Amino acid sequence: MNSKTTFFQLDFFSQCKKYDVPFLQCPQFLFLIMGMIIIGSILFTFAIGNHYIKNPSIVALFTLSIAAVLFIISFIITRSFEKLLEVSRMKSEFISIVSHQLRSPLSNLSWAIELLMSGKLGKIEEKQVEYFRILKENSARMKELVSDLLIVSRLETASLPSKKTTFSFEDLVKELIKNFEPFARASNVKIEFFSEENLPMAFGDPSQIRLVVENLLDNAIRYIKDKGKVIIKLKKKNKNIFFEIEDNGVGIPKEDQKHIFQKFFQAENVLKYQTQGSGLGLYICKAIVEKLGGKIGFKSQENKGSTFWFTIPFK
């Protein structure tokens, strides 16, 4: 914690406003009060001890009552912490329940649309096809959003266990590139892949690393405006495997860069011409990479492109 954040902790006005609890239940405020009482009581005990030097029972009684006050305050602090934790747990649980409940109607919807579009129930007109396509795309978007929300709630309630094994990172990336090939071709994007020779096996949860690579690859292709190139590199670096993905897309504006890994954040230039995406992808990437003992980062220049990287340990 640097001095700036320490100082910010002392600004209990804005801190307590953030939690939306009354002052008497706000941990920051209560800590400040407790600190002041402790300092005050030490000074006062010293003074009173000097004054009643011949009557130690008064001094003892005074110290005892101060201790009782401190005990009550710390009890309230503990309670308010419990409350805040409970709220956070309930929030994640709520997201999880809602997303689960949304899944059934979403499957019903997208399958009904698929059946209608297949023409098996009768021919559909050209004009109608357009609208069916809108329905289909949007139900797919909702599905993605729901599944992202579920991953986030699992990450936050620590109920996404990692099954760590050794696996070939190179094969995983190759497979994903193959999966993304149709999307890339449709977006006029070429994917190039370079891997260092004799790369050691990675150690982590392959299904979770897959999520990270999928998200980064999807972003790289999606945010190239007309046509372009995505370059993926894999190499060994110290005790890690280093994954890098470079695109020549729209890039991230400088003022947005510090927020890019935040939940629900989407850069301004991206929102202008593209509203898809949940704003959860990079948040999920960061949470997973860090959980598996790696690091994640990027460099980017607006209108030039972005390069995202992350590391995964090997055994």
Partner 1 sequence: MAKKILFIEDESALQKTFGDLLTQEGYKMISALDGETGLRLVKETKPDLILLDLILPKINGFEVLKKIKEDEETKDIPVIILTNLEEIKDVERTLESGATTYLVKSQYTLEEIVQKIKNILKDK
Q: Which is nearer to partner 1, 4 or 163 (CB)?
A: 163
Q: Name the segment binding partner 1 (CB under 8 A); options: 38-46, 55-63, 100-108, 266-274.
A: 100-108
CA atoms of 23 and 5, how far apart (whole Å): 20
The two three-digit tokens of residue 274, written as one number:
């593209």
Asked if residue 68 binds partner 1 (CB under 8 A), the reply is: no
Identified binder of partner 1 from the candidate list 50, 104, 198, 238, rule CB under 8 A: 104
Could you tell me which of 285, 311, 33 has the C-alpha nearest to residue 155? 285
SS3 sequence of 237-283: ECCEEEEEEEECCCCCCHHHHHHCCCCCCCCHHHHHHCCCCCCCHHH
Degrees, nearest 5: CA angle 22-73-18: 30
Dist. CA 12–CA 146, nearest whole Å: 36
Kindly state the tokens that stand for 255: 């003022």
Q: Which residue in the block uniquely carries the two structure tokens 């999920």?
A: 284
Q: Does 121 bind partner 1 (CB under 8 A)?
A: yes
Of 111, 239, 255, 315, the residue at the interface with partner 1 (CB under 8 A) is 111
Looking at the Cβ atoms of 123 and 272, the one nearer to partner 1 is 123
107 is a site residue for partner 1 (CB under 8 A): yes
Q: Calculate the CA 81 to chain-centre distance.
A: 22
Choices 57-65, 96-104, 267-275, 282-290; region in contact with partner 1 by CB under 8 A: 96-104
Question: Which residue from 143, 164, 233, 263 is in contact with partner 1, where contact means CB under 8 A?
Answer: 143
Q: Which is nearer to partner 1, 147 or 307 (CB)?
A: 147
Cα angle at 291 between 289 and 294, to 5 degrees? 45
CA 200 distance to own-chain centroid = 29
User: CB 108 → partner 1: shortest distance, Å?
Assistant: 4
Cα three-residue angle 296-301-303, rounded to 5 degrees: 130
Answer for which of 103, 141, 235, 263 binds partner 1 (CB under 8 A) is 103
The nearer residue to partner 1, 6 or 118, going by C-beta atoms, is 118
Single residue of 18, 51, 89, 100 touching partner 1 by CB under 8 A:
100
Nearer to partner 1, 167 or 242 (CB): 167
Q: How far is the CB of 163 from partner 1 (least distance, A)?
A: 8
Could you give the string, one character per residue 145-184, with x where binding to partner 1 holds by CB under 8 A and - elsewhere? Answer: -xx-------------------------------------
Torsional class of 234: left (φ above 0), alpha (ψ -120 to 50), beta (otherwise): beta
Task: Select 94 or 111, whichever has its Cβ closest to partner 1.
Answer: 111
Stretch that binds partner 1, among 3-11, 110-118, 198-206, 306-314 (CB under 8 A): 110-118
CA distance 231 to 237: 18
Task: Return residues touching partner 1 (CB under 8 A).
Answer: 100, 103-104, 106-108, 111-112, 114-115, 118, 120-121, 143, 146-147
